[in-house]
Amino acid sequence: MIRRLIPLILLPALALTCSSIPSGKEGEAAEKLAADMLQAAGLPQWQKTAAVEFTFAGMRSHLWDKARGLVQYRKGDIVVRFSKDSFRGVAYEKGKRIEDGKRVWSLIEEANSAFINDTFWLQPLFHISSPGARRYLIEPDSLRVTFFEGGVTPGDSYIFTPAADRRLQKMQMWVKILPVKGAVAEFTEYTITETGVPVALRRKTAVKDIVLSGVKFYGAFPPAGQKDPFADLVQ
């Protein structure tokens, strides 16, 4: 299940803008634009990427072993490692393993919520073909995507506008969690990762930018000669 959340750091910006969502038109033109944007986003390279790590807005860090479905979440003194498939996991505080089962489960839930939100912001376009998503062309050259199923708020809509090279340039949001509609985030400062996937390091909003740091993509994971960080889960 994909859950699309909005970082609290954006809430002040949302009071500054409000607009109604254009209707758009489904069909071949919308699907072609979606395919072009996914190609420019590096979807083929993403599908071959084994793992990715990054820090979101300076607040928390993720290491995602895509091939095995394992996630490491780090925030302050807390480290959580868990399986996306079984939600079996372990948690540490200041390097000491937490034995309280209820607290471990609570931390896994926190880690998973942050992971879902932050990986959506890593590249929203990788979600536009999710089950229940419908795509509409907004003339002259934008793509509206409405998620009719899945997530915590079915009916959320986004408009994605590409740059001339078809990479994502701007995202507008109409989501039920927010009282003001049409908030804008501009994706800038693109870099090419180790596996060839382009990633925007900055998302500009009306009040505060969201910056990704420590971005690293792996073609194989764990890297040859390095210790497996998920050894305590896969033993």
Whether 122 has a pLDDT exceeding 90, the answer reads: yes
Q: Where are the domains of the chain?
A: 8-234
Backbone angles phi, psi at 44, to 5 degrees: -60, -40
Distance CA(215)–CA(140), nearest Å, equals: 33
Q: What is the structure's pLDDT at 6? A: 53
Q: Which residues of 120-130 are buried (b: 16+ CB within 10 A; e: fewer)?
A: bbbbbbbbbee
Share of the chain above pLDDT 90, in %: 81
Which segment of 12-21, 65-74, 122-131 scores lowest on mean pLDDT?
Answer: 12-21
* Per-residue pLDDT at 12 exceeds 90: no
Report whether 97 contacts 90 (CB < 8 A).
Answer: yes
Q: Are 195 and 219 in contact (CB under 8 A)?
A: yes
- pLDDT tens readout for residues 161-215: 999 999 999 999 998 876 768 999 999 999 999 999 999 999 998 879 999 999 9
Taking CA atoms, 69 is separated from 39, 46, 117, 221, 230, in Å, by 24, 15, 16, 12, 11
d(Cα 193, Cα 102) in Å, to the nearest integer?
A: 38
Amino acid 139 reads E
pLDDT digits (tens, 9 = 90+) for 16-46: 456 788 999 999 999 999 999 999 999 999 9
Averaged pLDDT score across all residues of the chain: 92
* DSSP characters over 124-164: GGGGTTSTTEEEEEETTTEEEEEE-SSSSSTTEEEEEEE-T
The pTM is what? 0.89
